Amino acid sequence: MRHLLIILLISISFNPIGSFAYDWMPIEWMNDPDMSDSVRIVRLDHQVLVELRSLADRLNIDWQCTKTGERIRLDLPVRSLIFTAGSPFVLADKELRQMPLPVERQGRDVLAPVEPLIAVLAEFYPGELLFDPSLPQLLVSPPRHDLFGVRYDVEPGCTRVIIPAGRLLECKAEPLPDGGVTLFFPGGKIDTASFNREWVVDLIAGLMAEQTPEGASITLKPDSGAMFCDVEKITDPPLYCVEFTGSGGMGLDREAQKRLDAEKDAWALDVVVIDPGHGGKDPGAIGPTGLYEKDVVLDVGLRLKKTLEQEGIRTVMTRDRDIFIPLSKRTQIANNSGGKLFISLHCNAIQHGRAYGVETYFLAPAKTERAMKVALLENSVIKFEESQDQYQDLTEENYILLTMAQASFARESEQLAGMVVEDISAGLSLKDRGVDQAGFYVLIGASMPSVLVEMAFISTKSEEKKLRSKEFRQQLADQICAAVLKFLQQMK
C-alpha cells in the first residue's frame, strides 16, 4: 500500500503539465432533472481528479476557504469536513478519513481524487451519492430518510444535540424521569444506523434511534447530574436543537450565554499556547554548572507571554510555575483553550561533547538518528508520570495512527518551525541547526500547528552561560514573538 502511494505521488509530481487531460463529469439529480449539471474533471494517468469547490457547489454544499487556499471546509448538515492542501486526511469533526491521494492545489484549482472524495462525502451527505467510475458519472438521489444524523455543540456545562431534518416535522418532546428525553417525530423516517453509531459526548451517556410505523423516535440518556432542558425548533433549514445542562442546573440565561459565546469566538482567534517543558519533579536537562532546563524554559515562556500580550495576542500557558504536568495534559490544555498555535519550549542537550545552536521540530517520524535522539530525550519525561500505559512506543505504525490528527497541520507546523529557527538564530547570533522532524509525545494530540523549540544547548558551557542571562532570555522571547506574528499574519 505504502509503495503504491509513493509511486502515485512521484508520478503526479513529475508529470509535465501537458499530460493533464480535461473532461466533464455529468451530475444527474434523479428527482430533479433541472438541477442536473456537470463538473470539470482532470485525468492524470489512471487518476480522475475533480475541483473540490466546484463539486461542492453542484451538490449544494456550503464551503469556506482560507485566504491562502490551503484549507477548505465543507459544511454538511451533520459534519464539517476539513480538507488541507498536501494532505490525504479529511477531518470530519472529531473523526478522520483518509483518501489514497492528497488534495493538491494546481493554480487556482483544488483537486481531489474523485472516487475517494465522493466516498467521504457520501458518508455524511443527506441524499445518496452513486458514483459510476467507468463513465464517470455521479447520480444524486434524494434522502431516503428525514432524519439522517446528529452533530454536537459542547460547551462547559451545556451540550446541544443538533438534529437537522430533510423536511419540517412535528416534534414532541417527552422528558424522562432520569433527566433524559424522548423526541417523537410523527410520520418521520430515520436512518437508525447512522444515529446509533454516534459517539458519546459530555453530558450525554447514550443515544438511541428507533423507527416505528408511527414515526421516528430518538431517546437521549443523560450522564449523571445532567438534565434535558429545552428543545428548540428551527424551520429554515429544519433543525431541532436539544439542550442539556450539567449538574446543579446552573444553566446561563440565553443573553449571558450569547455574550459568552461571542467572547469565546474572539478569544479563539489568536490564542497562542505556550508550553514550557518539564517542571516540578522533572528538571529536564541540567547544565554543567547546574542550570535546570525547567527553570530556563519557564522564564522564557513567561516573557514570551508578556511580549505576545503586548502585541494584543491572547496566550494560555500549560504551566506558569514550577509544577509537573503530564505530557498528554499539555495538549489537552491547548485544545480546550481553543489555541491556534502550540509552542513547546525546551533547551537542547547532548550526553558527550559540545554542540551549539538553535533548532526546531515539528511532528513527523524522525528522519535522522540525531532527531530521534532529541525526541527520545524529551520523551523520557514520561518516566515521571504515574500512568505510562497511555504512551505507546513510537514505532512507525503507532506513529502513523497517532499523527493523523496532526497531519492536517504538518505543512503549517513546518512553516512556523522554519520562521522560529530563522528569527532566533538571526536575532541572537546562534548557529542555525534548522528544522527537523521527530515524534514528540508533547506534540501529539494538539489540533493546531505545533512546534517544539530547542532554544540552545544547556549542556554546552558557553550556551548555558547565555541561557542564564536575562537579556538572552528576553531576546529569545522577542524573536519567537516576531516569528509568531509573521506566521499569524500569513495565516490570515
Decide whether 93 or 320 has the Cβ nearer to Zn ion.
320
Decide whether 166 or 284 has the Cβ nearer to Zn ion.
284
Q: How far is the CB of 308 from Zn ion (least distance, A)?
A: 21
Q: Provide the binding-site residues for Zn ion, judged by CB under 5 A.
A: 277, 284, 346, 378
The residue with its CB nearest to Zn ion is 346
Q: How far is the CB of 377 from Zn ion (least distance, A)?
A: 7
Q: How far is the CB of 296 from Zn ion (least distance, A)?
A: 10
d(CA 18, CA 376) in angstroms, rounded, equals 47
Q: What share of the chain is helix, strand, coil (3-state, %, to 5)?
A: 35, 35, 35
d(CA 227, CA 292) in angstroms, rounded, equals 49
Decide whether 277 or 287 has the Cβ nearer to Zn ion.
277
The contacts of residue 298 (CB under 8 Å, 6+ apart) are 276, 279, 319, 320, 321, 322
Strands (E) in 176-313, as ranges, are 181-186, 204-212, 215-222, 227-234, 239-245, 272-276
For the beta sheet containing 62-65, the strands, ordered from the edge strand earlier in sequence to the opposite edge, are 62-65, 71-75, 80-84, 89-92, 95-98
Q: How far is the CB of 374 from Zn ion (least distance, A)?
A: 9
d(CA 301, CA 318) in angstroms, rounded, equals 10
Decide whether 70 or 378 has the Cβ nearer to Zn ion.
378
Q: How far is the CB of 381 from Zn ion (least distance, A)?
A: 7
d(CA 441, CA 183) in angstroms, rounded, equals 43
β-strand partners of 27: 37, 138
Q: How far is the CB of 39 from Zn ion (least distance, A)?
A: 50
Decide whether 155 or 320 has the Cβ nearer to Zn ion.
320
393 three-class SS: coil
Q: Which of 100, 116, 104 is nearest to 72 (CA)?
A: 104
Q: How far is the CB of 357 from Zn ion (least distance, A)?
A: 16
Decide whether 165 or 453 has the Cβ nearer to Zn ion.
453
Q: How far is the CB of 266 from Zn ion (least distance, A)?
A: 33
In terms of phi and psi (left: phi > 0; alpha: psi -120 to 50; beta: otherwise), the region of 3 is alpha
Q: Residue 200 CB: number of other CB atoms within 10 A?
A: 12
Decide whether 190 or 366 has the Cβ nearer to Zn ion.
366
Q: How far is the CB of 382 from Zn ion (least distance, A)?
A: 12
Q: Which residue has the cell 494532505?
A: 87
d(CA 370, CA 366) in angstroms, rounded, equals 9
Decide whether 152 or 441 has the Cβ nearer to Zn ion.
441
Dihedral angle over CA of 25, 31, 33, 38, nearest 10? -20
What are 327's three cell numbers? Answer: 505530557
d(CA 455, CA 346) in angstroms, rounded, equals 6
Decide whether 193 or 376 has the Cβ nearer to Zn ion.
376
What are 60's three cell numbers? Answer: 449544494
Decide whether 270 or 378 has the Cβ nearer to Zn ion.
378
d(CA 84, CA 74) in angstroms, rounded, equals 11
H-helix or E-strand containing 26?
strand 21-29
Decide whether 378 or 463 has the Cβ nearer to Zn ion.
378
Q: How far is the CB of 326 from Zn ion (least distance, A)?
A: 15
The contacts of residue 41 (CB under 8 Å, 6+ apart) are 22, 23, 24, 25, 48, 49, 50, 114, 136
Q: How far is the CB of 279 from Zn ion (least distance, A)?
A: 10
